[in-house]
Amino acid sequence: FEGPEEELKLTKNTQPALLILSFVAYVLLGKEALIAAGHSLGEYSALVVTGSLKFEDALLLVQKRGMYMQEAVPVGIGAMAAVLGCSYEDIEKALTKIEKGVVEIANWNSQEQIVISGHKEAVDKALAVINPPRSIILPVSAPFHCRLMKSAEEKLSYDLDQVEFKGLKFPIITNVDAKVIHKGDEARDALKRQVTQPVLWFKSMEILLKEKVDLFVELGPGKVLSGLAKRISRKWASPPTLLNVEDSLTLEKVRETISGML
């Protein structure tokens, strides 16, 4: 957790660190959720807190997941970029015009925030074709959630089959289908497929809003997911309360806020 930064940025190190942080934050918060969703790697944390996946199994899996992803595409070959201010349909159409290399939609984060992933040259070309109001090259070491991760998916699928997944104490919403699941086998299948398929976060958040979930608590560094939830929920008559836990100070603040709501 204390660097060096370049080592922490490597996905083989980032993934276990994020799992530990989010899981510990949930345990220290001391409140059981009614439903959960995890963005990409966060799906492992969600399954641990539901009791479906043992923490020690999840930690080993995400270490391997990070290693397999880095092995699939060497550092510098791939890239990911957030495209802001364009619709999913417009980006999907633009990507069909890229003839050389791989570039695909990796995350549908909100109405107008979509992440693309693939070969660096193809991502650069796609940004030129899309010509969005704004774009951000993401500081990642591999192009996640696209078919360049196929070898990682195959290796991880074997490892996932060796681990027990129990029925969930409370449901989660899967990344790959944006649907509510309760069974361990469904969770295992979702983790296999999410390696090469896009994270349908926008659709997942809409499910929570339709179910009238009125309190969202983000666990982990920063407020990225809280910010996305705020934008997604703007059109709703009663937007949820949004909280985040990333350190001891925010933990105490969230505890006090939740206690005041009960």
| Residues labelled as active-site residues | 40, 145
Provide the edge-to-edge strand list for the sheet that holds 180-181. Answer: 36-37, 172-173, 180-181
Asked if 174 and 72 count as a contact pair (C-beta separation under 8 A), the reply is no
Point out which residues pair with 26 in neighbouring strands. none
Secondary structure (DSSP) of 56-81:
HHHHHHHHHHHHHHHHHS-TTTEEEE
